Amino acid sequence: SLPDKVTIIEVGPRDGLQNEKNTIPTETKIQFIKALKQANIQEMELTSFVSPKWVPQMKDADDVIEQCLDNTRNFVLAPNQKGVERFYQSGANDIAVFVGVSNTFNKKNINKSTDESLEELKPLIADLKQNGKFVRACVSTAFYCPYEGKVPAEKTIKLCEAFAHCGVNELSVADTVGMATPKEVYQLFNSLKSIQPKNILITGHFHNTRGTALANIYASLEAGVDRFDSSAGGLGGCPFAPGATGNVATEDVLYMLHGMGIDTGVDIEKVIHAVDVVAPFMTRTLDSKLYHLQKAT
Ligand code: HMG
Ligand code: MG
């Protein structure tokens, strides 16, 4: 049976903006985040601690965090030791580390092999846990890699198990370039049910590049997944994954879930108001269906 409650993790301020060519004013980012909080988003990726040379859009991370921390779950991404050091200094409580299952992708994204990244992160995660931090592990290219093609499920499961063994609180399993289809999504999430410890949170992260994201969410629900990453307006994409486009739009996910009687606690109209804050700054057409429908009527 399908879950009757789902948690939405809003990734618009991070995944949504990181690939945008225009420099978006820090004030606008803060206004966007606050508008999303007004919509009752309880978990959100605010920004990332990455190299300003690699991802210039995220260089104002400290200023964004300073204005936006509150008593909800506010994630900041960090891929390495330097990122984790910046995290400790920021006063944030919730961190998201990220590694690609595909070696080629991980090298393009963070300039290390998958194993090198994992080895660097292991002691850092142990420390973070000792300091009472919430650790989310984003597992990229969990289904397909833009460089290597189909990623074997066993490799994804192995990386998920390695992170689980490190004591992370959550695995966010990502279809980075939106190539996955529902049957393989169902199968992978069904296999991930047996991951230990049992209380580890499992989240689906779908990009809608080929229009399969909502179908993949439905397939995940059938496999018992009740947490999804999504991006207001359907903004998003990883700058180091060629062809990557937006995350599935939060408002489109909400429409589907609410229509199925699944509660999220999030207000669709207020999410659409939040999109209005950043829409004028976007150089790409927003992928959201509901947003365009609202603007047309
Ligand atoms: P590198 O050049 O190999 O780094 O980049 P390095 O260790 O050789 O250091 C070079 C310089 O970068 C040094 O500065 C470091 O201090 C600095 P310098 O001495 O030259 O002045 N540096 C940093 N500065 C700020 N923050 C840091 C940091 N680390 C080193 N954390 C690095 C390695 C990881 C930094 C680089 O590759 C990078 O920043 N990559 C960012 C990748 C990224 O942000 N990708 C998008 C997010 S992941 C994603 O979108 C996927 C996801 O949505 C799930 C999915 O859909 O799959 C999560
Ligand atoms: Mg992503």
Cis peptide before 280 (omega within 30 of 0): no
CB burial string 117-148: b at 16+ within 10 A, e below? bbebbeebbeebeeeebbbbbbbbbbbbbbbe
| 238 is annotated as an active-site residue | yes
Percent of the chain with pLDDT over 70: 100
Ligand 1 closest atom vs CA 80: 31
Question: Ligand 1 pocket test: which of 76, 82, 160 has the largest number of ligand atoms within 8 Å of its C-beta?
Answer: 82
Residue 14 confidence (pLDDT): 98
What ipTM was reported for this prediction?
A: 0.98
Residue 295 confidence (pLDDT): 87
Over the chain, what is the mean pLDDT? 97
Q: What is the pLDDT of residues 30-71, one digit of tens each?
A: 999 999 999 999 999 999 999 999 999 999 999 999 999 999
Residue 211: how many other CB atoms lie within 10 Å? 10
Ligand nearest to the CA of 175: 1
Task: Determine if ligand 1 sits within 6 Å of the CB of residue 137.
Answer: no
Residue type, 102: S
Residue 26 has pLDDT above 90, yes or no: yes
Task: Determine if ligand 1 sits within 6 Å of the CB of residue 57.
Answer: no
pLDDT category of residue 286 using cuts at 50, 70 and 90 = very high
Mean pLDDT of 116-131: 98
Task: Determine if ligand 1 sits within 6 Å of the CB of residue 88.
Answer: no
Q: What is the pLDDT of residues 77-103, one digit of tens each?
A: 999 999 999 999 999 999 999 999 999
Q: What is the pTM of this model?
A: 0.98
Mean pLDDT of 112-141: 98
pLDDT category of residue 107 using cuts at 50, 70 and 90 = very high
Residue 297 confidence (pLDDT): 79
Spot the catalytic one: 145, 160, 166, 238: 238
Task: Determine if ligand 1 sits within 6 Å of the CB of residue 237.
Answer: no
Mean pLDDT of 166-182: 98
How many angstroms separate the alpha carbon of residue 287 from the centre of ligand 2? 14
Residue 244 confidence (pLDDT): 85
How many angstroms separate the alpha carbon of residue 232 from the centre of ligand 2? 13
Residue with the smallest CA separation from ligand 1 atom 56 is 176
Task: Spell out the SS3 assignment of 69-81.
Answer: CCCCEEEEECCCH
